[in-house]
Each structure stands twice: as structure tokens, then as C-alpha cells.
Amino acid sequence: MTGPSEQLRRNWLEAQQRRERLEAEMHLLRQERGADAADDEHDPDGATLSGEWSRLEGLRVATAAELDDLVAAIARAEAGTYGVCIGCGRNIPAARLEARPAALRCVNCAAK
Ligand SMILES: [Zn+2]
């Protein structure tokens, strides 16, 4: 038997590792750009690199938001209120929790 809390902690760890990998990739990218970063416009690789940077930054921001949601979901699992919508107080359908374990709101409330 695994409770929602245990599953959420696993999800949190996965997201945490994903963020660490993203940050490592961004660190490498920054090193590759090196001192020429200011000369971006004249660098034929510049556009490619900043495109890659935006992609990584987007993923990093999404992963950070996911981590925040998971922390909140873990706290709710421990308080025994996991799966209850914080918007309307109704149970969040199991299918939605499966697709998005950190969901704090039902589809209706999330769309508001
Ligand atoms: Zn709701």
C-alpha cells in the first residue's frame, strides 16, 4: 500500500532531479557562450543558443511551479485533505489526479 503522500514524494524527487539536470544544462550553455555573449548578434550560433536557452528556461520555470504544487499537495496529503478541490471543496476526479498528481483544483475551478 502506498498512500498519496508517498507517491507525491516520488513525483517531487523526480521533478527535483529534472530541475537539477536543467540547471546543469543551462550552466553548460552559459559556459559555451562564454565571454562572447555580449556579441550575440554577430555570432552565427547566437540565435540557436538563445533559442535553446529560452527552451530550457521555460522548462525550468514549469518544473519549479510543479515543485511548488507538489509541496502543497504533500502538505495536503499529510493533513488528510489531498484530492479535495481548494476552490469548491468537492473531490477532484481520480483521473485528473492521476494525470496531474499535484492538482489542487478540479477542472472547473482551474479554468476560472
Ligand atoms: Zn473545484
- 87 Cα: distance to centroid of ligand 1 (angstroms): 4
- Match 502506498 to its residue by C-alpha cell: 2
- 110 Cα: distance to centroid of ligand 1 (angstroms): 7
What residue ranges do the domains of the chain occupy? 4-79
- 39 Cα: distance to centroid of ligand 1 (angstroms): 50
pLDDT of residue 32: 82
Judge whether 88 and 99 are in contact, CB under 8 Å.
no
pLDDT of residue 1: 44
- Match 530541475 to its residue by C-alpha cell: 19
pLDDT of residue 88: 97
Judge whether 106 and 88 are in contact, CB under 8 Å.
yes
pLDDT of residue 83: 93
- 82 Cα: distance to centroid of ligand 1 (angstroms): 13
- 8 Cα: distance to centroid of ligand 1 (angstroms): 20
Stated pTM of the model: 0.76
pLDDT of residue 40: 54
Alpha-carbon torsion 70, 81, 90, 109, what sign? negative
Residue 85: count other Cβ atoms within 10 Å of its Cβ: 20
Q: What pLDDT tens digit does each residue of the chain (112 aa) get?
A: 467 888 899 999 999 999 999 999 999 988 887 755 555 555 555 567 788 899 999 999 999 999 999 999 999 999 999 999 999 999 999 999 988 888 999 999 999 8
